[in-house]
Amino acid sequence: QVQLVESGGGLVQAGGSLRLSCAASGRSFSTYDMAWFRQTPGKEREFVASISWNGAWTFYKDSVKGRFTISRDNAKKTVYLQMNSLKPEDTGVYYCATGASRYSVSPREYGVWGQGTQVTVSS
């Protein structure tokens, strides 16, 4: 069973950048599609981006297209989320997840989650 640990969150001003990392344990990481979600209080987790097992295919939530980039390094068993031109509405706890198809955008379809990392964007 793969385990996921996120890092890289923090406080940043609007227009700034952050890079989140999600380190995985387990021998089969390179076979898993991966995704990033985010959640704010009182709301369901929402899909942000996903990437195929080999990094050749990516998919983004419309509001982050052109600002966020998902990538992975299978040798390091790590998936990244580079976030540029951050906006206050990007604030939330960011989670990486796996266990579902790369096309899945519903959090209910994912079975493995990290503990999350807080991102706060001030205006």
In DSSP notation, 15-31 reads: T--EEEEEEEESTTGGG
Per-residue pLDDT at 82: 98
Beta carbons within 8 Å of 39's beta carbon, 6+ residues apart:
45, 46, 92, 93, 95, 116
Per-residue pLDDT at 15: 98
Per-residue pLDDT at 62: 97
How far is residue 119's CA from residue 29's CA, in Å, rounded to a whole number?
Answer: 25
Per-residue pLDDT at 101: 85
Per-residue pLDDT at 123: 93
**pLDDT tens-digit profile, the chain (123 residues):** 899 999 999 999 999 999 999 999 988 888 899 999 999 989 999 999 999 999 999 999 999 999 999 999 999 999 999 999 999 999 999 999 998 888 899 999 999 999 999 999 999
Per-residue pLDDT at 102: 83
Per-residue pLDDT at 117: 98
